[in-house]
C-alpha cells in the first residue's frame, strides 16, 4: 500500500461511539441492508484505485430514496462522513472510505423505472449498471451513449458522480450531455428533483453542477437519461503508422475535414504488443502507432466515410490499413483495445493516467511522457481517445517493489502536470478522487479552488459528503466544520 | 457607466463596486434586455469594449474569445474556416427589436440554443471553459480548452444560463465544429399537432440522425420562409452531414414519412432561412403587443399542453425540439397561473415569459418559480459567488 496521498485523521468521537451509531443505523434500514462485520467490510475498503484502502465504519445498502434520506439526515445530525458508492470501479479512489465514514452503496437501487421511447429517455435508479440501460432498449433500436470501459459493472449513479465518458463520446458527448434529470438526497435529508424529461430546467444549471461533482453535493438515487437511436451498423478500421507524429496529424486532419467518427482510439507500440499478445486481434506489429477509427451508419454511409478517411490516412503515410470484413473481425479489433487494461494487468502492475490535452499538443505530450518515464527508469504503454485528446498512459511497475511503486506514482504526477502545462487538464473522465486531489493546485489558483469550495458548501455546509476527495486537505475554508480539515 | 477595455479594468470596476456594494447592470450588446426581469439598478457595466478572439486553432475545434466580442466577429472567423457554433444560438433581436449587436458572452449568459439542440446540445454543452470575475472582484477560472474535463466542480455549466447574476465573463472558450457539407429539410404537410408529435418521435427513433425537428401549425406557417410553405401545417425534419450520407438518410426518412402526408424536400439554402426563422421565433416577432412564452416540456406533452390551454384561453403556438420547446403567444393576458398549472399536470417543465409589457412582467413571475429547497439552494449558490448581490440584482427570481 502506498503512502504518498495523505488521509485525514478519523474523528475519534465517532469511532468511540461506533456501537451506538451502528444500532441507530440498523433502526433506519430493513434487515440485511447494513454491513458491519469486518470481513464483510473488506470489499468496500477500496475501489479500482487499489493502492489505497481504509475500512469504513459501516456500509449501508438502502432499498429506497427515503432510506437514503433517513441515513443522510442521521449522519448530518452527528457529523458522520458519508461516502456514496456505485459499483466501486473508480480509478481515482472516489469511493475509498475512511474509518469514521458510512458508505452508502446504491447497489440495491437497481430498478429501471420507466422507458419512454417517444421521448427517448429512461428513468432508472442509481444502482442500475450503465450497460443495463442500453440492453433494456436494444430491441427497440436505442442505446444510452456514454460507454466507459467498466460499463458492464459501473452504475449510472457512479457515472453521474464522475461525469463518465467512454470511447464513443467523441460523437455523443459524456454523461453531462446525456443526462436530463436526477432525484437527489441533500445534506439534510431533503429529497429534491432536478430537471426531468424536458431538455432544460428552470433556474441555475444545478444538474450541470451535480454531474461530475464526485459525490460531494448529495446522493443521486434516480436519474433520467437520454436515449439515442442506434445506428444501423458500425465498422472499425485499423490504421498503422510508422511514427506517432503521422498518426497524430492524421487525427487532426480527419476532424478538421468535418468527419467526426464515433471513435478514434490510439495505441502506441508497447500497447499494441501487450494487446496483441492477449487478444490476437491481428494488430500490425511493425508500426509505431495504431489508430482504430470507427464509423457508423448504413453500409453506403460507412463506405463513403471510410473512403474519405482512408484517403487522409494515405496522405499521412499510413503503412497498414485493415478494414473489418465481418462482425467477428470488428469485434476482434475492439477486443484488443477494450482489453488493454486487463491485458496490461496480466503482464505487470500499472497505474492509468487520465489527463486531456489540446489535440495540437498530442505529439509533444507523447514524447515528453516517454522522457519522464525514462527518467524514472520505468515503462509506459499509451492507449487513449485521440479524437478528444484524452490520454491514458499506463505506467508499468512492480507493486512488490515499494520504491518502484513510489516512482510510478511520482512519474504519473509529473505526466499530469505536463498535461496541464500543455493547456490541458488533470482528468478527462476518471475524476480527481484522492488520486489527483493534491495536484489540483497545479491546475487551479487558490481563488479558483476557494470558489469551488464555497459552491460545494452551498450544497453541503458541514462537508459530510465524500469530504476527503477532490480538494487538497490544506487551505479548506474555515466555515466548513470538522470534516473539512 | 463602466466600460472596461481589458480584464484588469474589469476587475477594478467590480472590486470598486463590491467594496461599496453598488449593484451593476451587466450588459453586452443589450439585445436581450427584454429577457428576464428589469435589473433594479442604475450603474451599468458595459462589456462592449472587451472584445477580440484570443485564440482559435481550427484543427483543434476550439475558440477562446473575450466576452464582449460581437457574435458576428466570431461567426465571420468561423465562416472563413467552414466551421460553426453547433448549437445555433438564438438571436433575440427579431423579438425585441433594437439595433444592438449580440455578444458571445451574452449568448452563453442566457444559454441561447437553437434547433440543433436536440442533436448537438445546448450552449452550455458547448462551453468548455470560462474566466469570470466573481462578486468579490476575483478572477476565477473553470474548465479549460479541452473537450473532456472532469477536474473539479463544473462551474462552467453553472455560469452558463445564469443571466449574469453569478459572475461576469471575461473570456469564454467553446467548442466549434465543421459546418455540415450539405443539409436537406423534409417537410410533411397537413398534420395536426398530435399527428406531428407522433411523426417527429418516429423520425427521431430512426437511425437517420435528424438534426432538427419542428412543427408549424397552419396559423403560423405563412410567417416563415416568406410564406413559401403555403398554408398547410408543416412538420420539418432536417438532415445534415456528408453528401453521400445525407443522400442515403434522406431517402430513408422520405420512405418513413411517405404515409403521413404530402412530403417535400427543401434544399440547404432555403433550409437555412427556414431554421433561422424557427430559431428566432419569426412567426411571433411582429406581434409585440401579445405576451409570448417559451415553454420547455417533455416532447410528447407540448401539443397536449397547447390543446388544454385552447379550451380556456386564446393561444397560438409552434413547436421546436421535437415538440418539447413550445413558443406560445397568448391573445391577451399572460395566464401564468393557468399555464404553469397545466405544465405541472403534464409531467413538469418550465415556462418563461419572454416578452410582455413592463406591467405584465412586474405582476407575473417571468421565470418558473422553483420548489423551495431548490430556490434556497440557488440563493446559497448566489451568495457563495456574489455575496454582496452586486450582479444584475432582480434579473432572475431566486
Which of A112-116, B33-37, B137-141 has the weakest average pLDDT? B33-37
Torsion of CA A440, A441, A445, A451, to 10 degrees: 50
The shortest CB-CB distance from A201 to any of B139, B207, B350 is to B350
Q: How far apart are CA B374 and CA A196, in angstroms?
A: 14
The answer to whether A424 faces chain B, any CB pair under 8 Å, is yes
The model's pLDDT over B152-189, given as tens digits with 9 standing for 90+, comes to 999 999 999 999 999 999 999 999 999 999 999 999 99
Report helix, strand or coil for A63.
coil
Q: How far apart are CA B84 and CA B78, in angstroms?
A: 6
The shortest CB-CB distance from B150 to any of A212, A258, A447 is to A212
The shortest CB-CB distance from B151 to any of A203, A385, A443 is to A443
Q: Which residues of B touch A423 (CB under 8 A)?
A: 144-146
Average pLDDT over every residue of B45-65: 95
pLDDT at position A1 is 58
Are B157 and A423 within 8 A, CB to CB? no
CB contacts under 8 A, B 39-98 vs A, are 57-62, 82
Q: How far apart are CA A215 and CA A104, in angstroms?
A: 11
Locate cell 458508492: which residue?
A85
- Report the complex ipTM: 0.97
Q: Which residues of A touch B384 (CB under 8 A)?
A: 451, 454-455, 457-458
Alpha helices by DSSP H, A339-401: 340-347, 362-375
The model's pLDDT over A451-460, given as tens digits with 9 standing for 90+, comes to 999 999 999 9
Asked whether B43 and B2 are in contact (CB, 8 A), the reply is yes
The model's pLDDT over A210-226, given as tens digits with 9 standing for 90+, comes to 999 999 999 999 999 99
Q: How far apart are CA B240 and CA B268, in angstroms?
A: 9
| pLDDT band, very low/low/confident/very high, at B118 (cuts 50, 70, 90) | very high
User: Taking CA atoms, what residue in A is nearest to B148?
Assistant: A428
Are A305 and B139 within 8 A, CB to CB? no
The answer to whether A209 faces chain B, any CB pair under 8 Å, is yes
The shortest CB-CB distance from B245 to any of A194, A305, A431 is to A305
C-alpha grid cell, residue A473: 486537505
C-alpha grid cell, residue A268: 502506441
C-alpha grid cell, residue B153: 466542480
Percent of chain B scored above 70 by pLDDT?
100
User: Taking CA atoms, what residue in A is nearest to B147?
Assistant: A388
* pTM of the model as a whole: 0.96
The answer to whether A53 faces chain B, any CB pair under 8 Å, is no
The shortest CB-CB distance from A119 to any of B145, B252, B300 is to B300
Asked whether B309 and B335 are in contact (CB, 8 A), the reply is yes
| pLDDT band, very low/low/confident/very high, at B98 (cuts 50, 70, 90) | confident
- Interstrand relation of B25-27 and B44-46 (parallel, antiparallel or unpaired): parallel
Interface with chain A: mutation pick from B130, B131, B148, highest number of A CBs within 10 Å:
B148
pLDDT at position A359 is 87
Q: Which residues of B touch A308 (CB under 8 A)?
A: 242
Cα separations in angstroms, A70 against A118, A191, A464, B202: 35, 10, 14, 43
Q: How far apart are CA A111 and CA A157, in angstroms?
A: 12
The model's pLDDT over B357-377, given as tens digits with 9 standing for 90+, comes to 888 888 899 999 999 999 999
Q: Which residues of B touch A177 (CB under 8 A)?
A: 121, 125
Q: How far apart are CA B208 and CA A228, in angstroms?
A: 11
Are A162 and B139 within 8 A, CB to CB? no
Asked whether A233 and A299 are in contact (CB, 8 A), the reply is yes
Interface with chain A: mutation pick from B14, B18, B146, B302, highest number of A CBs within 10 Å:
B146
Angle at A283 between CA A277 and CA A286, to 5 degrees: 95
Distance from CA of A200 to the nearest CA of B (A): 7
Q: What is the mean pLDDT of chain B?
A: 95
Q: Which residues of A touch B297 (CB under 8 A)?
A: 197-198
Asked whether A238 and B334 are in contact (CB, 8 A), the reply is no
Q: How far apart are CA A167 and CA B374, in angstroms?
A: 34
Interface with chain B: mutation pick from A301, A429, A435, A471, highest number of B CBs within 10 Å:
A301
CB contacts under 8 A, B 334-373 vs A, are 347-350, 352, 367-368, 370-371, 373
Q: How far apart are CA A332 and CA A338, in angstroms?
A: 10
Distance from CA of B259 to the nearest CA of A (A): 19
User: Taking CA atoms, what residue in A is nearest to B152?
Assistant: A470
Q: How far apart are CA B15 and CA B139, in angstroms?
A: 11
The answer to whether A252 faces chain B, any CB pair under 8 Å, is yes
Q: What residues does A350 pair with on adjacent strands?
A: A396
Are B117 and A199 within 8 A, CB to CB? yes
Which strand ranges, in their side-by-side order, compose the sheet holding A179-185? A112-116, A121-125, A219-226, A179-185, A191-195
Ranges in chain A, pLDDT < 50: 480-485
Distance from CA of B371 to the nearest CA of A (A): 9
Are B155 and A206 within 8 A, CB to CB? no
The answer to whether B376 faces chain A, any CB pair under 8 Å, is no
pLDDT at position A479 is 52
Q: Which residues of A touch B62 (CB under 8 A)?
A: 358
Locate cell 461567426: which residue?
B75
What sign for the dihedral angle of Cα B327, B332, B337, B338? negative
CB contacts < 8 Å between A and B, how many?
A: 274
DSSP readout, A331-350?
Answer: HHHHHHHHTHHHHHHHH-EE
pLDDT at position B54 is 98
The answer to whether A335 faces chain B, any CB pair under 8 Å, is no
Q: Is B298's pLDDT higher than 90?
A: yes
pLDDT at position A382 is 94
Q: Which residues of B touch A193 (CB under 8 A)?
A: 371
pLDDT at position A483 is 47
Q: How far apart are CA B138 and CA B134, in angstroms?
A: 6
Amino acid at each position: 500500500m502506498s503512502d504518498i496521498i495523505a488521509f485525514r485523521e478519523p474523528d475519534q468521537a465517532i469511532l468511540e461511539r461506533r456501537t451506538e451509531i451502528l444500532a441507530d443505523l440498523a433502526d433506519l434500514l430493513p434487515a440485511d441492508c447494513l454491513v458491519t462485520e469486518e470481513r464483510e467490510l473488506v470489499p468496500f475498503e477500496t475501489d479500482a484505485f487499489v493502492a489505497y484502502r481504509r475500512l469504513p465504519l459501516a456500509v449501508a445498502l438502502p432499498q429506497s430514496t427515503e432510506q437514503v434520506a433517513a441515513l443522510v439526515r442521521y449522519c448530518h445530525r452527528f457529523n458522520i462522513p458519508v461516502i456514496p458508492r456505485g459499483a466501486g470501479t473508480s480509478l481515482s479512489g472516489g469511493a475509498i472510505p475512511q474509518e469514521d465514514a458510512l458508505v452508502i452503496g446504491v447497489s440495491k437501487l437497481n430498478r429501471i423505472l420507466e422507458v419512454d421511447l417517444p421521448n427517448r429517455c429512461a428513468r432508472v435508479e442509481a444502482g442500475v449498471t450503465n450497460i443495463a440501460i442500453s440492453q433494456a432498449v436494444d430491441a427497440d433500436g436505442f442505446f444510452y451513449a456514454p460507454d466507459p470501459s467498466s460499463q458492464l459493472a459501473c452504475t449510472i449513479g457512479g457515472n453521474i458522480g464522475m461525469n463518465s465518458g467512454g470511447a464513443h463520446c467523441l460523437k455523443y458527448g459524456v454523461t453531462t450531455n446525456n443526462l436530463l434529470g436526477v432525484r437527489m438526497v441533500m445534506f439534510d435529508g431533503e429529497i429534491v428533483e432536478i430537471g426531468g424529461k424536458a431538455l432544460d430546467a428552470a433556474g441555475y444549471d444545478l444538474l450541470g453542477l451535480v454531474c461530475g461533482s464526485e459525490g460531494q453535493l448529495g446522493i443521486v438515487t434516480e436519474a433520467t437519461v437520454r436515449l439515442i437511436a442506434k445506428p444501423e451498423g458500425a465498422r472499425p478500421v485499423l490504421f498503422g503508422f510508422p511514427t506517432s507524429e503521422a498518426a497524430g496529424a492524421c487525427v487532426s486532419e480527419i476532424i478538421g475535414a468535418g468527419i467526426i467518427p464515433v471513435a478514434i482510439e490510439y495505441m502506441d507500440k508497447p500497447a499494441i504488443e501487450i494487446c496483441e499478445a492477449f487478444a490476437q486481434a491481428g494488430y500490425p506489429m511493425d508500426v509505431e502507432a495504431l489508430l482504430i477509427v470507427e464509423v457508423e451508419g448504413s453500409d453506403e454511409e460507412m463506405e463513403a466515410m471510410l473512403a474519405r478517411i482512408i484517403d487522409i490516412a494515405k496522405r499521412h503515410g499510413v503503412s497498414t490499413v485493415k478494414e473489418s470484413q465481418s462482425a467477428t473481425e470488428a469485434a476482434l479489433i475492439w477486443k484488443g483495445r477494450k482489453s488493454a487494461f486487463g491485458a496490461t494487468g496480466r503482464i505487470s502492475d500499472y497505474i492509468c493516467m487520465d489527463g486531456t490535452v489540446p489535440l495540437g499538443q498530442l505529439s509533444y505530450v507523447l514524447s515528453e511522457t516517454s522522457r519522464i518515464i525514462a527518467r524514472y527508469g520505468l515503462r509506459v504503454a499509451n492507449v487513449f481517445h485521440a479524437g478528444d485528446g484524452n490520454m491514458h498512459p499506463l505506467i508499468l511497475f512492480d507493486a512488490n517493489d515499494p520504491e518502484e511503486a513510489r516512482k510510478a506514482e511520482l512519474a504519473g504526477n509529473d505526466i499530469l502536470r505536463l498535461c496541464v502545462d500543455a493547456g490541458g487538464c488533470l482528468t478527462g473522465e476518471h475524476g480527481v478522487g484522492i488520486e489527483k486531489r493534491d495536484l489540483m493546485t497545479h491546475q487551479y489558483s487558490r481563488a479558483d479552488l476557494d470558489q469551488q469550495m464555497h459552491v460545494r458548501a452551498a450544497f453541503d455546509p458541514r462537508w459530510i459528503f465524500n469530504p476527503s476527495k477532490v480538494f487538497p486537505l490544506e487551505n479548506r475554508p474555515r466555515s466548513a466544520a470538522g470534516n473539512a480539515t | 457607466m463602466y466600460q472596461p477595455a481589458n480584464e484588469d479594468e474589469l476587475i477594478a470596476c467590480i472590486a470598486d463596486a463590491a467594496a461599496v456594494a453598488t449593484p451593476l447592470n451587466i450588459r453586452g450588446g443589450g439585445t436581450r434586455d427584454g429577457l428576464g426581469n428589469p435589473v433594479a439598478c442604475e450603474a451599468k457595466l458595459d462589456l462592449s469594449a472587451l472584445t477580440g478572439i484570443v485564440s482559435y486553432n481550427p484543427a483543434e475545434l476550439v475558440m477562446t474569445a473575450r466576452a464582449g466580442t460581437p457574435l458576428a466577429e466570431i461567426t465571420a472567423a468561423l465562416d472563413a474556416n467552414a466551421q460553426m457554433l453547433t448549437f445555433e444560438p438564438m438571436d433575440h433581436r427579431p423579438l425585441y427589436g433594437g439595433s444592438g449587436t449580440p455578444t458571445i458572452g451574452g449568448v452563453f449568459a442566457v444559454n441561447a440554443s437553437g434547433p440543433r439542440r436536440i442533436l448537438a446540445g445546448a450552449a452550455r454543452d458547448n462551453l468548455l471553459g470560462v474566466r469570470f470575475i466573481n462578486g468579490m472582484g476575483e478572477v476565477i477560472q473553470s474548465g479549460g480548452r479541452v473537450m473532456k474535463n472532469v477536474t473539479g466542480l463544473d462551474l462552467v455549466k453553472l455560469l452558463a444560463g445564469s443571466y449574469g447574476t453569478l459572475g461576469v465573463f471575461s473570456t469564454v472558450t467553446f467548442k466549434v465544429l465543421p459546418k455540415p457539407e450539405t443539409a436537406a429539410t423534409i417537410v410533411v404537410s397537413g398534420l395536426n399537432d398530435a399527428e406531428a408529435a407522433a411523426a417527429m418521435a418516429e423520425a427521431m427513433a430512426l437511425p437517420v440522425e435528424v438534426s432538427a425537428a419542428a412543427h408549424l401549425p397552419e396559423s403560423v406557417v405563412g410567417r416563415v420562409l416568406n410564406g413559401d410553405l403555403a398554408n398547410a401545417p408543416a412538420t420539418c425534419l432536417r438532415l445534415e452531414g456528408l453528401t453521400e450520407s445525407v443522400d442515403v438518410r434522406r431517402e430513408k426518412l422520405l420512405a418513413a414519412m411517405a404515409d403521413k402526408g404530402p412530403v417535400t424536400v427543401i434544399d440547404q439554402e432555403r433550409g437555412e432561412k427556414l431554421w433561422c426563422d424557427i430559431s428566432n421565433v419569426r412567426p411571433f416577432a411582429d406581434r409585440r403587443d401579445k405576451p409570448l412564452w417559451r415553454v420547455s416540456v417533455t416532447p410528447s406533452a407540448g401539443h397536449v399542453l397547447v390543446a388544454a390551454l385552447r379550451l380556456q384561453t386564446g393561444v397560438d403556438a409552434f413547436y421546436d425540439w421535437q415538440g418539447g420547446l413550445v413558443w406560445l403567444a397568448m391573445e391577451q393576458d399572460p395566464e401564468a397561473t393557468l399555464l404553469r398549472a397545466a405544465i405541472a399536470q403534464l409531467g413538469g417543465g418550465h415556462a418563461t415569459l419572454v416578452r410582455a409589457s413592463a406591467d405584465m412582467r412586474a405582476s407575473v413571475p417571468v421565470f418558473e418559480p422553483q420548489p423551495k429547497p431548490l430556490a434556497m439552494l440557488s440563493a446559497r449558490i448566489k451568495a457563495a459567488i456574489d455575496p454582496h448581490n452586486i450582479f444584475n440584482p432582480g434579473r432572475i427570481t431566486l
